[in-house]
Structure 1
Amino acid sequence: MSVRSKSSKAWLNEHVNDHYVHQAQKDGYRARAAYKLLEINEKDRLIKPGTVLADLGSAPGSWSQVAAALVGKNGAVFALDILPMEPIAGVSFIQGDFRENEVLAEFEALLNNRELDLVICDMAPNMSGNSVTDQARSFYLCELALDFAREHLKPGGHFLVKVFQGAGYQEYLNELRSLFQTVQTRKPDASRNRSSEIYLLGKNKR
């Protein structure tokens, strides 16, 4: 292959995307999303030995895999998703719809009044193809995740959430700024370039 065609953007994008898929298979992660959390954590040191965290929208489980390995035996990972998730050592999982009060109550019972150091949320709605509807659904889930963080994070705790830039983004950003001392954006290398997804990181809950 010539140098010129090698440098084409399409080839590079394909190569990078394939790299993470192959790397996930090699490293034993269930999805390439593992590398998004690993990269953010390398920069921000959110998950350490002893961290107690909730993983919202956890299936198929790559973020829970990363988290469980990092928190160690003195930490805890509580995970929730509407989809089934194969068991992961060190992770307490509930399958159910985060939008339903009964499911949320069951998840809260699992926490057993433990305050969380961190809430991570990689949730996305089932996409309809209608960008307005999908954006509204996405931010509804983000709002619920923020409500959960507000209730269950200890003072000084952190919140990492995936959002899609577009309608509702600025308002949501403002909400985070009212709850956390600092709010930063993260776009890990493992995020596909064509995706409008971005991660918001609220640090040090007020």
Structure 2
Amino acid sequence: MTDTKSSSGREGGRSLKTRVKTARKRSLSSTLWLERQLNDPYVAKAKREGFRSRAAYKLIEIDERYHFLKPGQRVVDLGAAPGGWSQVAVGKVGSEQGKGRVIGIDLLDTDPMPGAEFKVMDFLAEDAPQQLMEWLGGKADVVLSDMAANATGHKKTDQLRIIGLVELAADFACEVLAEGGAFLAKVIQGGTEHELLARLKREFAAVRHVKPQASRAGSAELYVLATGFRGPTKR
């Protein structure tokens, strides 16, 4: 249940936050997450503008800065559900008008979306890269990954797990990307990403760290953008 004191959200010059009372069957962490969701301006903005998740604004901001999504591209979205990043990619490449392709891969079902194709598949499966390229009709121009490993609550362990997941996503990207392609993935700051960055610098012409404003305040979340894939024969 929620307790709000003003429908306008302001009283006496201060913003009033929606506070969530801890229910008998809800953990404190779940309560805090729900409170963050209810008070997150990007969550509200996503609902108003029809995006499937607040994460859409992270991709929008990163692309507005570096312009790596272009009309006609073939884009792969790893861990696509619920589809916020795929939704942005559809608009950027023009796949709803037949100008490009957007394929989202996830272990979960994702609701259909005009301009995108969602596949239930484990990208770690041995035949996943070949299967994807068959679906695309060739190699990809961009591989996106907003995936995060399930949190354990232990900071160091969580950092290692998410870096391990990004390394696997990078392996996949290097198998399916066309020369000159781009790879964007979520990482966690904390000193465990240096080996990954060194590897990406060998595989790509340019590697950047990006911290979009849409990332929650205080979050260790960071994105790595690698552009100009050198190709399998030039590594």
Give the TM-score category using the shorter length. Answer: 0.7 to 0.9
Whether 1:87 aligns to 2:112 is yes
Aligned residue runs from structure 1 range 150-161, under 5 A: 150-161=174-185
Residue of structure 2 in register with 1:29 after alignment: 51
The correspondence for 2:217, drawn from 187, 193, 201, is 193
User: Does the CA contact (< 8 Å) of 1:58 and 1:80 recur in 2?
Assistant: yes
RMSD after superposition: 2.1
Whether 1:55 aligns to 2:77 is yes
Q: List runs of 5+ in structure 2 lacking aligned partners.
A: 1-10, 16-35, 231-235
Q: For 1:91 and 1:74, how far apart are their aligned partners in 2? A: 12
Whether 1:204 aligns to 2:220 is no
SS at match of 1:101: coil
Which has the larger displacement, 45-54 or 58-67? 45-54
**Cα separation, partners in 2 of 1:37 and 1:87, compared to 1, 3 Å:** same
Q: For 1:95 and 1:129, how far apart are their aligned partners in 2? A: 28
**Cα separation, partners in 2 of 1:115 and 1:43, compared to 1, 3 Å:** same
**Cα separation, partners in 2 of 1:153 and 1:105, compared to 1, 3 Å:** closer
Residue of structure 1 in register with 2:90 after alignment: 68
Aligned residue runs from structure 1 range 102-141, under 5 A: 102-112=127-137, 114-141=138-165
TM-score w.r.t. length of structure 1: 0.87
1:19-77 CA-to-partner distances (Å, cap 9, x unmatched) read 11111001111110000001111111111211111111111100001111221121111
Whether 1:77 aligns to 2:99 is no
SS at match of 1:126: coil
Give the fraction of aligned pairs with identical amino acids, expressed as a percent.
Answer: 43
User: Does the CA contact (< 8 Å) of 1:55 and 1:120 recur in 2?
Assistant: yes
Residue 111 of structure 1, CA deviation: 2.8
Q: For 1:128 and 1:53, how far apart are their aligned partners in 2? A: 31
Residue 102 of structure 1, CA deviation: 4.8
Q: For 1:140 and 1:21, how far apart are their aligned partners in 2? A: 28
User: Does the CA contact (< 8 Å) of 1:64 and 1:79 recur in 2?
Assistant: yes
| Greater helix share, structure number | 1
The correspondence for 2:204, drawn from 166, 175, 180, is 180
User: Does the CA contact (< 8 Å) of 2:189 and 2:220 recur in 1?
Assistant: yes
User: Does the CA contact (< 8 Å) of 2:101 and 2:136 recur in 1?
Assistant: no
Q: For 1:119 and 1:149, how far apart are their aligned partners in 2? A: 6
Q: For 1:144 and 1:70, how far apart are their aligned partners in 2? A: 26
Residue 168 of structure 1, CA deviation: 2.3
Residue of structure 2 in register with 1:164 after alignment: 188
Larger Rg: 2
Residue 183 of structure 1, CA deviation: 0.8
Whether 1:41 aligns to 2:63 is yes
TM-score w.r.t. length of structure 2: 0.77
